[in-house]
Amino acid sequence: MPELPEVETVRKGLAPVLEGSTIRLAKARRKNLRYDIPQDFSERLEGNKVTALKRRSKYILMECEDGLVSILHLGMSGRFNIHAAGTAPELEKHDHIYIETMTGDRVVYNDPRRFGFWLFSDVNSIDDHDHIKNIGPEPLGNSFNEDTLLTAFHNKKTNIKAALLDQRIVAGLGNIYVCEVLWRTSVHPETAAKDISKKQIEAIVPTIRAVLGEAIEAGGSTLKDYAQVDGELGYFQHSFKAYGREGEACLKEGCGGTVDRIVQSNRSTFFCPKCQR
């Protein structure tokens, strides 16, 4: 599942084509993806101007001039492809949605597994939408800091790995980047969140920002289906220090340990039992 860096990379790729553009054509080639596609999909988008392309957690929010907001989610295999005017090839089997701007550029949503979705809301009620209302602070924003995390962890018995994956505590973090953060800060993934010290939190918060920033700069991480809107693959996976490195030597200087893998909440956790305590 694409995490914050992958979704932000897609948003940044779509923004130059969509922001400020008027949609000439909007077509859904099937009635549903994970959820039903809005019945008035074409009617609401055609002739509308895109004023902003934003990201909230793992969702892309496409705001239009009349107040319409499209909530876009990539699911497990969804991706957007951009074709400049006059260069769009024939639509493929899994090209389920496409829009064209007045300048002729085409944006195509392809999703073989159909776990992604495209829903409508509006700018005045987006914060109350079922997919948005319970999301915590953005980890790259000012509302996420040591104090907010300390408060969120107070008396929380769940392990630190699960706590950081909880979208109500912090938005957009997923399995890959939490593993990397805990490795960098030498925190054992099974430690109860309530037992994380203030000093550890003061290390975790900036490390979250650093890891996400580096991943965005690298275009995200490509494991299976993810690719950027220009077809390029992200390459942050080449910088993994913990994730996917089971049985390999820990890369922390002077450690000498070996990366292990455990399963937490049906997800693989990679960590070094020697330096993460």
Q: To 5 degrees, how large is the angle CA 237–CA 240–CA 246? A: 110
Distance CA 54, CA 65 (A): 14
Annotation says 3 is catalytic: yes
The single residue of 11, 55, 56, 58 carrying the catalytic annotation is 58
Annotation says 267 is catalytic: yes
Q: Are the beta carbons of 143 and 176 closer than 8 angstroms?
A: no
Longest dimension (CA), the chain: 62
Distance CA 169, CA 190 (A): 17
Q: Please, which residues have CB within 8 angstroms of residue 43's CB and are 6 or more apart in sequence?
A: none
Q: Are the beta carbons of 212 and 140 closer than 8 angstroms?
A: yes
Distance separating the N- and C-terminal Cα atoms of the chain: 28
The single residue of 24, 114, 241, 267 carrying the catalytic annotation is 267
Annotation says 58 is catalytic: yes
**Residues recognised as catalytic:** 2-3, 58, 267
